[in-house]
Structure 1
């Protein structure tokens, strides 16, 4: 059962994620205007986008490790302040070099927070509903996609330099971060691991009291789960942890590469393919509307079916749609295919976000998920130097066919070699993992 407090936490986390999403998508929507004003090439745009994802790589690893050491809550709040500050700093950019540095540091804070958010949900929500609340968290957050898209569409055409205001919105996440100081408790699993049983028990007792008041009946007997045990980071590279680590890193890199190869580059690629800036921003704005329903599509199935198979199946569907998007000629088909792609990409993200933190024990959950997520962003960083030559060599259609192949391979790796996790206790040691493969 999910209590009143847990629902409030989901709203707070969703609001934090919304500002994260606003900032990630802001540069994509602002890029055509910046390109026009500054006379940038596709390569320069790729370099700035790559800087963001390089920052995400370091942020994912650093944030995950810090959260394992000092706590999930402190890391989330600290990361929010970092990305808010540097999102605001982006508004003062006047050279490509300035943009690169500002976007690198913004990306660092963004991924440090996102990686720990999904860990927090995995640890603080019941196992039979944590997938659904990852879906709801993402849906709340993805409200930021249409907000960023429509703000860009409304503001950018007001005049030169107006694209800067798009990044001001991302900086407002700091306000929610301040509220989170009082509204979010620390993860009880993390507290138990670090010997803070008193405060962990206080949180659990509060949740139990709310559940009893809601049901007006005795609660079911507690289900025993593996002991939260301490350990060293080196365990990440041994036994079943190593298998999970390799599978998730490989799958995350390939899936993220294709995901952002579409989302981060569609506006500029459409312009390069002959569409006007106005048409492109209209298309991007319409695509953005699909994000929230896409996340909510996962709600009825994410806790019902095996997550690794859902990930694999969704990549096949999206891969087929990539091909349609790339080879179709009419603007109507581009619009329809792009809308459906944008929807199912977010459905796929829910499955992946629910799955990642379930693969590692508590003392490695932050760093393990952070590295897997971070390496996915590193793949996108490399892609920033590959995407433009790929478009030049393969053309518009070939580009999206290549993205489809990469995406399906990433899903297949996860679906074939990943561990089952749906409705099962979180992994706390390698022997528990061995029993669940």
Structure 2
């Protein structure tokens, strides 16, 4: 059966453009075998959808990182207008959004394992756009908290799905690189946010509101563009829709041939096509439960420092003698490290073991935190900020890619959502604890502490399995 289908799927090289597809070429009249469809997809050596799809996917990341950063830059002005105490400001800035993030990641992310990636990708970015626009209308701490929660729901679910979706479309030998190129589009959101904030927040009493409006417009653009994306063929094949998966893969093959790629014979593997009405139930079986625990711990320790730095650094610096504009400027110049880190990781992601890359990123993070915590002059603070941002650019997408790789297609979004969602409780800990530690033990102790928790995350990753260059179905066996 497989040999017969293989021969029927090698038409002469097509002259179609990237956006065109014929259903007749590469599709047999008989029943479609899901395992063969997956083998055909996995033999394609490079990204084989229109390149602008990566930009469309990356816009979701762009909003995510813009949103994570904008509340931190806007909070000093918000706190002054709403007369918030330090603990109230931290609660609104980070805790509420993170709670929404966890809820959205776990609930909506797991739903995508049942109803598909594409539909939920539209829902999640729609929620984020709505939440951001509503944040701009907040009149007090309670309304802002409500809308931050709603935005967090969308952001948490969207971040989960983007990593899952890209991983299921990208070829095995370029999965890390493709994921990081998409991430590069997104991480620019964190790089440009401080400069947008610098132009708006100090200049206008309502500047923080404009910051949220900008975020909402970005998400709205992403929503409109996403209607052009295909469903994940892996999800379609697993959920009894091999003909639809066949159509997507046929389009990928046509684009690959139009770019001059020679496709080898597909090699179907005897992979499980089982699915569960309750995807999370798959995660309590071996080896997934152990992987889940490992990833939860890895993300928990990482997010302690991540959210402490992103949410509290501006406020803490301004509280130690720096003007708000100067604090934003130091972090803004340092934020150039985000895209630089993502570019470096795009080069390295498929050349080295992902576990070693994660560890190396956390070592850079520790150095950045030590320099930032030293407060040894404007130059040292800026260098520390750059290294911290550089480490974030290095770490985040390779760790997202690694997380999604460790779970089977039937529960990939659920596994990612639980790992990242529960792990985000570390962000709540870091955001609430860092100001307390800085007050009680000093600036250096606080930032050295979150540097060490980041390094612990890198050490934990070493205990996971190797994934680089392997087919997703092989990793998930």
Tell me the TM-score range normalised by the shorter chain. over 0.9
Q: 2:265 aligns to what?
A: 221
3-state SS of the aligned residue for 1:300? helix
1:238 aligns with 2:238: no
Shift of 1:428: 6.5
Q: 1:435 aligns to what?
A: none
Q: 1:134 aligns to what?
A: 179
1:10 aligns with 2:54: yes
Compared with structure 1, are the counterparts of its residues 223 and 393 closer, same or farther at alpha carbon in structure 2 (3 Å cutoff)?
farther
Q: 2:42 aligns to what?
A: none
Unaligned runs of 5+ in 1: 433-437
Q: CA RMSD in A?
A: 1.6
Q: Deviations over 1:145-187 (max 9, x none)?
A: 2332211111122321221000001112123212211x10000
Moved over 6 A (4+): none
Q: Distance in 2 between matches of 1:331 and 1:222?
A: 57
Q: 1:95 aligns to what?
A: 140
Q: 1:247 aligns with which of 288, 294, 313?
A: 294
Q: 1:287 aligns to what?
A: 334
Shift of 1:6: 4.6
3-state SS of the aligned residue for 2:52? helix
Equivalent residue runs for 1:21-36 within 5 Å: 21-36=65-80
TM-score w.r.t. length of structure 2: 0.86
Q: 1:206 aligns with which of 244, 251, 255?
A: 251
Higher-Rg member (1/2) = 2
3-state SS of the aligned residue for 1:368? helix
**Equivalent residues of 2:48, 2:253 under 8 A apart:** no
Equivalent residue runs for 1:353-368 within 5 Å: 353-368=400-415
Q: Deviations over 1:29-60 (max 9, x none)?
A: 11122223333232112101111111111111
Q: Distance in 2 between matches of 1:275 and 1:213?
A: 56
Q: Distance in 2 between matches of 1:254 and 1:105?
A: 25
Equivalent residue runs for 1:135-150 within 5 Å: 135-150=180-195
1:305 aligns with 2:352: yes
1:158 aligns with 2:203: yes
Q: 2:221 aligns to what?
A: 175
Q: Deviations over 1:200-245 (max 9, x none)?
A: 0011011111111211x64112243434431352221121111110
Q: 2:125 aligns to what?
A: 80
Q: 1:256 aligns to what?
A: 303
Q: 2:87 aligns to what?
A: 43
Shift of 1:394: 1.9
**Equivalent residues of 2:367, 2:387 under 8 A apart:** no
Q: 2:380 aligns with which of 333, 347, 353?
A: 333
Q: Distance in 2 between matches of 1:298 and 1:145?
A: 17
Q: 1:53 aligns to what?
A: 98
